[in-house]
């Protein structure tokens, strides 16, 4: 499929259209050997709420962004390399149905499809892309980022289990495990290789584990007793929940034929 479509005019036109929809805010997507496998809308669980996001599955990357105008304009582009992706099935839970986890070293989150069939199609095509990219790859995949627990799922600190969240006691997220914690239980920061060179907020529980394992783990950096200036959960959450977004009439995803 990749060899046949990579240099085809129809594939180039599809990718050019995706680029134009992101405009100058997005990265260049037309690179040699890249094929657009499929696209569609999925509901992504963000920090404060669940939001519709437009997803584009390529043979080598998974791209998604916020919907400004359906099928015409997107922003807040995110690009995840396929080779390091992992998936984990989620059981239906009340109103949350047809979901699974998408995990990568830089970002992990839950998504939900509109129907069981759409979920099956997405997972099948993503899994196929992962296997194709990992074929012949002798290097192991790095650890994946934690899935952040949504704010609404935690009324009190998940570490001390005492502090109740309110206007004064704010919620914070541990960048190492994804738990929702209070400020008192997340006063330390640590340099995590999956996040970058800047120390980030971690809960006390993870901080103690990271310190204890530092001698045997070269992938984590030095600890810090204080959070960096300006450290805020919203900076690293990836998707803003503060802006109003247009309602999107969802349609079935499109997966392109192998020709």
Task: Tell me the per-residue pLDDT of 29-41, one tens digit each, with 9 for 90 and over.
Answer: 999 999 999 999 9
Contacts 24+ apart (CB under 8 A), 210-217: 210/176
75-124 pLDDT per residue, tens: 999 999 999 999 999 999 888 899 999 999 989 999 999 999 999 999 99
Report the pLDDT value the prediction gives residue 230, as an integer from 0 to 100.
47
Report the pLDDT value the prediction gives residue 226, as an integer from 0 to 100.
56
The pLDDT of 232-244, averaged and rounded, is: 50
pLDDT confidence of 234, banded at 50, 70, 90? Answer: very low
Q: Spell out the domains of the chain, with CATH numbers in brackets.
A: 2-144 (2.30.29.30), 151-233 (3.30.40.10)
Alpha carbon of residue 94 to chain centroid: 23
H or E element in which residue 220 lies: strand 220-224
| pLDDT of residue 244 exceeding 90 | no
The C-alpha torsion from 94 through 96 and 99 to 101, rounded to 10°, is: -100
The C-alpha torsion from 146 through 188 and 198 to 217, rounded to 10°, is: -60
**Beta strands at 36-45 and 50-58: parallel, antiparallel or unpaired:** antiparallel
Report the pLDDT value the prediction gives residue 183, as an integer from 0 to 100.
95
H or E element in which residue 109 lies: strand 108-112
pTM tops 0.85: no
**C-alpha span between 82 and 61 (Å, rounded):** 5
């Amino acid at each position: 499929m990749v060899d046949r479509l990579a240099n085809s005019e129809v594939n180039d036109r599809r990718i050019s259209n995706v680029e134009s929809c992101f405009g100058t805010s997005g990265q260049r997507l037309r690179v040699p050997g890249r094929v657009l496998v499929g696209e569609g809308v999925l509901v992504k669980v963000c920090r404060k709420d669940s939001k519709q996001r437009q997803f584009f599955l390529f043979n080598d990357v998974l791209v998604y962004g916020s919907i400004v105008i359906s099928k015409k304009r997107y922003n807040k582009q995110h690009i995840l390399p396929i080779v390091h992706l992992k998936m984990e099935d989620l059981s239906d839970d009340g109103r949350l149905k047809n979901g699974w986890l998408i995990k990568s070293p830089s970002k992990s989150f839950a998504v939900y499809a509109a129907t069981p069939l759409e979920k099956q199609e997405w997972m099948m095509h993503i899994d196929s892309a992962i296997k194709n990219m990992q074929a012949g790859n002798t290097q192991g995949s790095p650890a994946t980022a934690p899935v952040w627990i949504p704010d609404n799922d935690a009324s009190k600190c998940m570490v001390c289990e005492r502090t109740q969240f309110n206007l004064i006691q704010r919620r914070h997220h541990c960048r190492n495990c994804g738990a929702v914690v209070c400020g008192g239980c997340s006063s330390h920061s640590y340099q995590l290789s999956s996040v970058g060179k800047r120390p980030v907020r971690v809960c006390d529980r993870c901080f103690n584990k990271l310190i204890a394992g530092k001698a045997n783990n070269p992938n984590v950096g030095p600890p810090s007793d204080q959070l960096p200036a300006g450290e805020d959960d919203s900076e690293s959450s990836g998707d803003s929940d503060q802006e109003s977004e247009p309602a999107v009439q969802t349609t079935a995803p499109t997966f392109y034929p192998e020709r």
